[in-house]
Structure 1
Amino acid sequence: MQLISQEKIMQALDWAYDKSVNGIKGLDSAEELAESYMNNEDTLYEQANSLIRWQNTKSATSGFVTGLGGLITLPLAIPANITSVLYVQVRMIAAIAHMSGYDIKDDKVKTLVYACLVANSAKDVLKDIGVAVGNKLAMNAVKSISGKTLQEINKKVGLKLFTKFGEKGIINLGKAVPLLGGLIGGTFDAYTTNTVGNIARDTFASKGSQTA
């Protein structure tokens, strides 16, 4: 049984972000997902909430999981359930960022998306690197920092995720775990996806958080 390293978690994170931005055949990209929630008269905050609710219901269905065909041939030695959760959450956060007027191809936005993945630990991650953070995570926290510091933050997020998955006992499941079977729809995943979504909403979509 193959153990999963922090490095592999980072590879999966970068893969998930690339596929979220550029899309997977049969699934909307983060921008396309965002646009589908922007065609109504709701406020940005309400649109973000609608997207988060969808992620917590639709992503739990077998049809959606089956649609993640690209994950089956993912050339990484990492369990499909971990990769699937990371993809669903990264795409959700990136979509909220796009809805809020951010350029999701910007490295600083990418780092902020990654930070949202560790939810309430995000501010601690930035503080560990020496980045001052206010009452909540915001673009201002990473706006003026260097590319090297962005990479350090990304690695810290990877370590946090590696620790989290390890605590839940799924870090060493290896390739024996099938993609199907409700892996995304488990209680743990649904709860964390909702929490992560709320952090992303408050980071990107709350009043005063937009770049414009």
Structure 2
Amino acid sequence: MASRLKKGLAVEAARQLAPRVTQMAPGLTQSFVREALHRAINGVGPLPPAAQAAEEQLREQHGNVDKAVREVIENHVLYAGVGGFATNLGGLLTAAVVAPANIAGLALIQSRMVAGIAHLRGYDLDDPRVRNAILETILGEDTVQRMVKKAQLPAPPMAVATAPQHDPTLDQTMTTVLANELIGRVIGKRIATTVGKRVPVVGGAVGLGADAWSTWRIGRYADRELRPRARR
């Protein structure tokens, strides 16, 4: 009961703090999400472009798209877990330094995963409608359903990806909403870690579990939501 109460308080605090963070630093909202998506699609450092990595998985699975999708998800869950552990050591004491890295890293990993799945399912990653659908998918199924029901988003990701035309007004909506969501997740994770035990390695363990779990759920959502189209 106590652990659930602490988790509930952490989530509520995160929801209240996230919009304030992005209001104080609007560049964080408008730039880091799109930059993460751009790097995910085009590649950065040792990570090749999302489509190239997805094609490699497809070759390894002898052309079986569903198996390749599962491999893409498993690989990125591993990336997220390692990143979550590395950037959450130290709890709130190091939050000012590592929280931005955690947020940006999670955005990059999850964008790359969903982009890889979208590519395997036949979507054009250069299409702005598809890019908005990728960002929307990262919000997670529960958040998307809630926001669509409240008319805060026009439709689920697949409908956005296959809309008759691109809606430019949706670009900023997606970046703002996703920035708030990612910041809220990281803030909530850090509060949950430090409310119970102020032991650095505990923060790392919580980060590993939370980031890996959220990435797995988003991957499964993308798998269900982005239905196959004719591959070019």
TM over 0.5: yes
Q: 1:188 to 1:61 in 2, by over 3 A?
A: closer
- The more displaced of 32-41 and 146-155 is 146-155
Whole-Å Cα distance in 2 between the matches of residues 153 and 211 of structure 1? 26
Matched, 1:34 2:51: no
Q: CA RMSD in A?
A: 3.2
1:49-60 pair list within 5 angstroms: 49-60=70-81
Paired letter, 1:166: I
Is 1:80 aligned to residue 101 of structure 2?
yes
CA contact (8 A) 1:131 1:141 kept: no
The CA distance in 1 between the partners of 2:39 and 2:155, in whole Å, is 31
Measured in 1, the distance between the counterparts of 2:230 and 2:70 equals 20
Could you say if the C-alpha distance between residues 117 and 28 of structure 1 is closer, same or farther in structure 2, counting changes exceeding 3 Å?
same
Paired residue type of 1:162: I
CA deviation vs aligned residue, 1:191-212 (integer Å, no higher than 9, x gap): 00100111111122x4xx4255
Structure with more of its chain in helix, by fraction: 2
Q: How does 1:1-212 map to 2 (within 5 A)?
A: 4-5=21-22, 7=26, 8-39=28-59, 40-41=61-62, 43-61=64-82, 79-120=100-141, 121-127=143-149, 128-129=151-152, 131-133=154-156, 137-139=157-159, 143-144=163-164, 146-169=167-190, 186-204=208-226, 206=227, 209-210=228-229
Structure 1 runs, 4 residues or longer, greater than 4 Å off: 181-185
Any idea what SS the aligned residue of 2:190 has? coil
User: 1:9: how far off?
Assistant: 4.1
Deviation sequence 1:121-165 (CA, Å, 0-9, x none):
1233344336245xxx42357613521134324323333333333
| 1:94-140 Cα distance to aligned partner (Å, 9 max, x none) | 1111111111121111111111111121233344336245xxx4235
Give yes or no for contact 2:137–2:221 (8 Å, CA) kept in 1: yes
Between 88-97 and 152-161, report the one with greater CA deviation: 152-161
Provide structure 2 residue ranges, at least 5 long, that are not aligned to the other structure. Answer: 1-19, 87-97, 192-202
**Count of residues paired in the alignment:** 183
TM-score calculated relative to the size of structure 1: 0.71
Which structure 1 segments of 5+ residues have no match? 66-76, 171-180
- Is the alpha carbon distance of 1:151 and 1:132 closer, same or farther for their aligned partners in structure 2, counting shifts above 3 Å? same
Residue 58 of structure 2 aligns to a residue whose secondary structure is coil
1:22–1:29 contact (8 Å) kept in structure 2: yes
